Amino acid sequence: RETVSRIQIASNLYLTMGNWLVDHWLSVLILVAWLGLNIFLFVYAFLIYEKADKYFYTREILGTALAFARASALCLNCNSMLILIPVCRNLLSFLRGTCSFCNHTLRKPLDHNLTFHKLVAYMICVFTAIHIIAHLFNFEHYSRSQQAMDGSLASVLSSLSRHEKESNSWLNPIQSPNMTVIYATFTSIAGLTGVILTIALILMVTSAVEFIRRNYFELFWYTHHLFIIYIICLALHGMGGIVRAQTEDSMGESHPYNCSKSFHEWDKYVSSCRRPHFEGHPPESWKWILAPIALYIFERILRFYRSQQRVVITKVVMHPSNVLELQMRKRGFSMEVGQYIFVNCPSVSLLEWHPFTLTSAPEEDFFSIHIRSAGDWTENLIRAFEHQHSPMPRIQVDGPFGTVSEDVFQFEVAVLVGAGIGVTPFASILKSIWYKFQRADHKLKTQKIYFYWICRETGAFAWFNNLLSSLEQEMEELGKIGFLNYRLFLTGWDSNIAGHAALNFDKATDILTGLKQKTSFGRPMWDNEFSTIATAYPKSVVGVFLCGPQTLAKSLSKCCHRYSSLDPRKVQFYFNKEIF
């Protein structure tokens, strides 16, 4: 028996890894390609600056720190180009739309855009650190060789002055032994822009940590616009031509292989070697970032244009526990289940846009959101709509965005689990499934839904309650009571509530929710649930969809493995981890 279960565990593990890879191969590919690109660019630039002849004299003063600085600079240019692209959400929506014939797996990476943005940001931080440390060494070496009186090659090279007739002959930007590195830094374009953009980067990072972002979103949003300073300073950063290489002509005339040893005799008549001449590079950062900047400006213009289109509010409903429902219409708006929109209300705040999951089904002729009071902006918005006598505030909408999991309609049996606020997208899904069922939509393969709603207390979701009870009613009318099987689990129960429930055990409807299905207390015992479903549908493919915390995802995916039969003809549970 033990060997059988070990084989089962092992094969389930492979199946999981296999399943995961099948679902995510494109994301993994993109990640590997991006890492590979970074490594390639770093090594490429490193080798050039470490080996090329035109940097021979530069290396004489600076050593390997030169190569580190330049290699990290190239990677910084590349990553600064890449970082703007994942935040162009309209562009990504467009890509997703044009790829609608594509497999759902191909579109998955588009939904991980913010993860990619963060990864690129971390990489920028790492390379910035390398770049700055390398340049600290570079400036120190330049300073030392300018002050050195030992007649070494380095000190001779440093004495090549920029004020002489051939203004191109200087190598060392620190021209006098009295100049400190701090002075040299802040009086050069590269140094000044470098310091400013690093400070901007640090401020962006400290205000974007999860703790600040979740709790003080506006602080994150406004501070993150420092990226404009970052971009401008980056474009200007290379303008000083401070990294110098020997010119072609000078190399032809006095190649370092021939002339580096005889530096005491440069420009003397007897020697064939002349003083080397150097030139700086033109700035290249702008070439990398120009296209993404243009794309991003276009994206912001597009967002503005879309937001200017009129949104007609067709219905305003105040639900219990201070939940506001807005039903709206907008020309050209088309949505799919589980998507979200960004909402702006100029009378509450001119600049803030907040995301909300859509709670209406695509089959309805309006789109709706349910807004809970969760902070400054939401409270003010709800208050603005509560005033019956003042004119209705104007709303601007951008979207819809987000992943579209059409898989939810593809399974014969669907197990839907919504925890806490994760129940919101299921409003859209349940309604849509019901509409499709009524119209006998052939795209809908679902025959049975098990819906688990887990929350602390139903207070703020009383509106969802109403949705369930109206679905209950409609199913009764159509005689299809068995189609939707839902259970509500209250995890925030106390002895009072339990006492009440025990007293009212015989009543037909639940005392807390008024629904026909009784409320359960505590967390669901997934083993029982899964074994019941497996017994009821021994030959079906069951899709499990979750919108909730990671711990729940783990237990559900474990149960999926445990209750999936080894025989592919028998019951199979597929866990859809990424949802909405």
Among positions 188, 198, 247, 555, the unique one binding other proteins when judged by CB under 8 A? 198
Among positions 139, 451, 453, 563, the unique one binding other proteins when judged by CB under 8 A? 139
Phi, psi of 545, deg, nearest 5: -120, 135
Residues 538, 542: Cα–Cα separation, whole Å: 10
Between 202 and 228, name the residue whose CB sits nearer to other proteins.
202
Between 262 and 349, name the residue whose CB sits nearer to other proteins.
349
189 is an interface residue for other proteins by CB under 8 A: no
Size of the site for other proteins (CB under 8 A): 30
Pair 488, 472: CB distance under 8 Å? no
Q: Identify residues 117-136 at the interface with other proteins (CB under 8 A).
A: 129, 132-133, 136
205 is an interface residue for other proteins by CB under 8 A: yes
Per CB under 8 A, which region of 202-210, 233-241, 415-423, 534-542 contacts other proteins? 202-210
351 is an interface residue for other proteins by CB under 8 A: no
Between 200 and 468, name the residue whose CB sits nearer to other proteins.
200
Between 216 and 521, name the residue whose CB sits nearer to other proteins.
216
Work out how close the CB of 206 gets to other proteins at its nearest, in angstroms, rounded to a whole number.
Answer: 4
Among positions 17, 32, 33, 202, the unique one binding other proteins when judged by CB under 8 A? 202
- Whose CA is closest to 264, among 148, 142, 151, 144? 151
- Whose CA is closest to 83, among 115, 126, 129? 115
Per CB under 8 A, which region of 112-120, 179-187, 401-409, 562-570 contacts other proteins? 179-187
Work out how close the CB of 396 gets to other proteins at its nearest, in angstroms, rounded to a whole number.
Answer: 20
Work out how close the CB of 196 gets to other proteins at its nearest, in angstroms, rounded to a whole number.
Answer: 9
Work out how close the CB of 45 gets to other proteins at its nearest, in angstroms, rounded to a whole number.
Answer: 21
Between 95 and 182, name the residue whose CB sits nearer to other proteins.
182
Between 195 and 462, name the residue whose CB sits nearer to other proteins.
195
Element (H, E) at 114: helix 113-147
Work out how close the CB of 212 gets to other proteins at its nearest, in angstroms, rounded to a whole number.
Answer: 6
Instruction: Give the pairing type, strands 340-344 and 541-547.
Output: unpaired
- Whose CA is closest to 300, among 228, 217, 403? 228
CA distances from 460 to 456, 486, 522, 537 (A): 10, 19, 18, 34
Pair 531, 545: CB distance under 8 Å? no
Residues 6+ apart with CB under 8 A from 122: none
Work out how close the CB of 133 gets to other proteins at its nearest, in angstroms, rounded to a whole number.
Answer: 5
Among positions 336, 376, 407, 578, the unique one binding other proteins when judged by CB under 8 A? 376
Residues 6+ apart with CB under 8 A from 358: 335, 338, 339, 340, 341, 367, 368, 369, 400, 425, 428
Work out how close the CB of 68 gets to other proteins at its nearest, in angstroms, rounded to a whole number.
Answer: 12
Residues 146, 154: Cα–Cα separation, whole Å: 8
549 is an interface residue for other proteins by CB under 8 A: no
Per CB under 8 A, which region of 42-50, 216-224, 312-320, 406-414 contacts other proteins? 216-224
153 is an interface residue for other proteins by CB under 8 A: no
Q: Identify residues 447-466 at the interface with other proteins (CB under 8 A).
A: none
Residues 441, 448: Cα–Cα separation, whole Å: 15
Pair 172, 158: CB distance under 8 Å? yes
206 is an interface residue for other proteins by CB under 8 A: yes
Among positions 219, 290, 294, 566, the unique one binding other proteins when judged by CB under 8 A? 219
Between 201 and 371, name the residue whose CB sits nearer to other proteins.
201
Cα Rg of the chain, angstroms: 32
Token digits of residue 145: 């060789």
User: Amino acid letter at 305?
Assistant: Y
384 is an interface residue for other proteins by CB under 8 A: no
The Cα angle at residue 458 between residues 521 and 451, in degrees rounded to 5: 70
316 is an interface residue for other proteins by CB under 8 A: no
182 is an interface residue for other proteins by CB under 8 A: yes
Residues 472, 134: Cα–Cα separation, whole Å: 68
Between 96 and 131, name the residue whose CB sits nearer to other proteins.
131
Work out how close the CB of 240 gets to other proteins at its nearest, in angstroms, rounded to a whole number.
Answer: 17
Work out how close the CB of 207 gets to other proteins at its nearest, in angstroms, rounded to a whole number.
Answer: 6
Among positions 26, 87, 181, 382, the unique one binding other proteins when judged by CB under 8 A? 181
Work out how close the CB of 385 gets to other proteins at its nearest, in angstroms, rounded to a whole number.
Answer: 20
Q: How would you class 502 by CB atoms within 10 Å of its CB: exposed for 0-12, middle for 13-18, buried for 19 or more?
A: exposed
Among positions 8, 26, 153, 216, the unique one binding other proteins when judged by CB under 8 A? 216
Work out how close the CB of 449 gets to other proteins at its nearest, in angstroms, rounded to a whole number.
Answer: 34
Write a three-state SS string for 222-274.
Answer: HHHHHHHHHHHHHHHHCCCCCCEEECHHHHHHCCHHHHCCCHHHCCCCCCCCC
Strands (E), 359-460: 367-372, 396-401, 413-419, 448-455
Residues 355, 547: Cα–Cα separation, whole Å: 16
Among positions 23, 50, 218, 441, the unique one binding other proteins when judged by CB under 8 A? 218
- In the complex, the residues that contact other proteins under the rule CB under 8 A are 129, 132-133, 136-137, 139-140, 143-144, 180-182, 185, 195, 198-199, 202-203, 205-207, 209, 211-212, 215-216, 218-219, 375-376
